[in-house]
Chains A and B, each alone.
Chain A
Amino acid sequence: MNAVLSQQLYIFATVVTAIFLEAAPFLLLGSLVSSLIEIYFSPDRVSNFVPKGRFTGLFFALGAGMVLPTCECGVVPIVRRLLLKGVPSHVAITYMLAAPVINPIVLVSTYVAFRGNIWMVVARAGLVALSAFCTGLWLSRINPLLALRQEATLSDLPAHDHDGTDCEFNHQSNSRSKLTGALLHAAWEFLDMGKYLILGCFFAGLMKTFLSDGILSIFENNVFLAVGAMMFLAVMLSVCSEADAFVAASLWSFPKVAQLSFITIGPMVDLKLLFMYSAVFKKRVVLALVVIPTVIVYVAATTLGMIIG
């Protein structure tokens, strides 16, 4: 085999495998949590936890994101399940966008990566919280079930808003049967979301294999182009929120605000998430999930760049 082709195939296969291996534990955890919610929590029980007001719900979601850390891959199946249980769209969506970033683990990793720059940590958390809040507010009038694609409510991925007749186990059965059922649900969920994760990994692998490392440096001297280039890179590389700060910090020839835009947009919008969003949510919801954070991050980062120079 041609040496260059062989090298590219090797790098592509290694990147795809590495991203999947990195994300798999979090996707599995998300699938297990989602299944436990499905089996053990009735819609009434879930809705009792959630505040009824729109703004209190948004702040509740941000607070939950701080204390219940989840990876961006693992949070999607959890949010799908929460929506199926009737949790208001604005609460679920705000939690989904904010939780992968505003939790202590990711904030500490950001602090370490940027060598104790507390302003980078604050700016990251603040900008993600703002984007999540605004997106949640925008989607607050959508009925939770109408936010989801029909396939995501009925499909091969077993949403249990049915009467139980088409299900492999009895929801009213004993605790052992319930546990087996929860594990079977988790297997379905992992396979279903894993499919979209893998598709995202393929695209990220292609970008990583063929994107020249020098191509972005031509944008680094102009704040508008630098922020755009770093946001594009974050979407394409699909790096996990716990590690992306180290990648951003390594691109130190870029302005700080461009690095900030990288670590802010990546955990909300990246290739693997785009596939997962598209599998779960209706088009207009996916559009909002992509456009609102992108606009907010770009405008905020470039404005900040002009102010601090």
Chain B
Amino acid sequence: MADIVLDKVSKSFPDGTVAVRDVDLEIADGEFVILVGPSGCGKSTTLNMIAGLEDITGGELRIAGERVNDKAPRDRDIAMVFQSYALYPNMTVRENMAFPLRLAKLDKETIEQKVSEAAKVLELTALLDRKPANLSGGQRQRVAMGRAIVRSPKAFLMDEPLSNLDAKLRVQMRTVVSRLQKKLGTTTVYVTHDQTEAMTLGDRVVIMRGGAVQQVGPPQELYDNPANLFVAGFIGSPSMNFLHAAVEDGKLRTAVGDVPLGDRIRRELTAEDAPRELILGIRPEHFEDASLIDDETRARGTEFEAPVEIVESMGSDKYVYLTVEGERASAAELEELAADVGTEDLTGSGSSLVTRLSAESTVAEGESRRIWFNLEKIHLFDPSNGRNLTLHEGRAAGALAS
């Protein structure tokens, strides 16, 4: 067990492309850190550099205080789980798990004992004599994890280990991974492109985009206080709604009506170079059916009326899609996010809002409905650089903060 420190770690290729740019990250001993981002953001490259499978072209990587930039993977004492599981097809489950121990020249009894211990933890005991070809996806995945844990390495690296499993199994294996990590207390770096996995698994999440770290923090903090437009749009499902907002007379003119601004935001917007147009972000759960809220709550937000397009009842609550008129919010980050999810999913690029209302709401498709939303929970972004303007000392303060 050890801590891992990335000190301005970079990766550039001979042709000049930069895959990872100055990543600074301190992973504490025993911590579970998730690297997440859309494909091509450099998360896997970063992991491979920690593993030693890719050369580091700049900066320093330290494991347990020791510089390991130039050490071969086998000398770093870390284990890795691959998306493809990378099980040796010619070996049985037992031989697969024993492989790293045999290479480490441990004696037979110790190997046997460690393998059976790991097999017990992962419920693989009955499968020890099977070949990988005769295992299901979930079982293979467990064998791959078994091969990683038998060595008791300094750290685990996991490269999208659950991506090849079907949805149900993925949820199940998520808890297995989580429980295993807590039990062993081994430093773990986990790469995924799935924000749900990132939110549920890690102690801390590192969001990457274009080879650079966007924000690092515990999942809830990233969700509540996104540093920029990209983080806001990436974390959360369904994702945050983005609307175009024009600054006029200390107010914001948007498709959901005028939004009053507090002193602090107004002060920022009076500056010379302040943007005249903003992007307003609201999470689906910060909307509510206007007929269901009490006066005290009503005072904290504002209302608008919009035609209801689709109602999806989840039982516990309702997802209601509203049609709104007005200009679309546009920014480079939003386009990138839309490309990553396949466009149609992202509300920022359409003229429809996703809202999550209480199950008691009697909202029906086709009608026009009054909807309330919470002004304390909205985020305002500068479209030119994506910065979250509502963030004050790391906390999102809403539009009304003074």
A, B assembled together = no
A interface residues (Cβ-Cβ under 8 A, vs B): none
